Amino acid sequence: MIRMNYKKPKRMFEDSGVVDPHISYHISLENVVSKRKQDIKTLVDLGRYFSIFAPRQSGKTTFFEDFCQELEKDTAYMAILLSFQDYKAIDGATFYTLIQEVIYEQLLLRLQE
């Protein structure tokens, strides 16, 4: 009988859910800047909108969650994370009601901390 030595991979590719950079391959989104070479914190400070474009499952959400945690170290900011993935097949009134509930829940949690 031939014995095979199996080695557990150091990292894996995620195909759904949040990317854990410690166990999954991901694209490092450090030093993300705008076309004008402004970093995301500067864009937030200026009240500007921004988008993060990268392939699926590359760590965009993980990067954004980490950014929000860093941002909240400045007491001038309170980050509210919203995902619209679960709201694809609902009418407008229901959508706005659910989003309002999510925002209120997050505000209450932050104010209780």
Share of the chain above pLDDT 70, in %: 91
Q: What is the pTM of this model?
A: 0.66
Determine the pLDDT at residue 113.
76
Please tell me the distance from the alpha carbon of residue 57 to that of residue 76, in angstroms, as a whole number. 31
- Model confidence at 94, pLDDT cuts 50, 70, 90, reads very high
Non-local (6+) Cβ contacts of 54 within 8 A are 27, 29, 60
13-31 residue pLDDT tens: 777 777 777 777 766 666 6
**What is the mean pLDDT of the segment spanning 85-103?**
89
Determine the pLDDT at residue 14.
74
Taking CA atoms, 15 is separated from 51, 55, 56, 57, 64, in Å, by 22, 12, 9, 6, 18
28-63 residue pLDDT tens: 666 666 777 778 888 889 998 888 877 777 778 888
Share of the chain above pLDDT 90, in %: 14
3-state secondary structure of 71: helix
